[in-house]
Amino acid sequence: MWTHQLTPQRFQIACLPFFTYGICHRDIVTIDDQHLVSAVVEKSGHRTLRVALVRDHPQLNQLHELLHREAAASELAHEWLQGTYLAVDLPPGTDPQPLTAPLSDLEEAGALFWEIDS
């Protein structure tokens, strides 16, 4: 994960974690002697919306384009990984409903999976 060093022992998360639960953008963490996160010492209040597109879905490209447009229109920080994983930063007070509203139907249709982590 990308971080900014605040003190010799404290680091602020500077990315949108795709696969690490319980750690979000701007959280403050400590690391161990192998440079692995050992603890979250201060939560930032940010949440992460994660979306995983089903790779063999027949409309994969259209779904990617749709989600890319929605994420860009939201003006929220977001990152893609391999074109099928999307992470969106939800700062404190952000209503995720405009982004999540279409996701439930697409999940039910077997096109993607999504979750919000804090």
* Domain range annotation of the chain: 3-42, 47-117
Nearest-angstrom CA–CA distance, 56 and 90: 28
Confidence grade of residue 1 (pLDDT, cut at 50, 70, 90): confident
User: What pLDDT score does 10 carry?
Assistant: 96
The model's pLDDT over 50-108, given as tens digits with 9 standing for 90+, comes to 999 998 888 888 988 989 998 999 999 999 999 899 999 999 999 998 889 889 889 99
Dihedral (Cα; 57, 58, 64, 70), 10-degree rounding: -100
The model's pLDDT over 7-49, given as tens digits with 9 standing for 90+, comes to 998 999 999 998 899 999 999 999 998 888 999 999 999 999 9
Q: Is 29 helix (H, G, I), strand (E, B) or coil?
A: strand
pLDDT higher than 90, residue 5: yes
CATH class of domain segment(s) 47-117: alpha beta
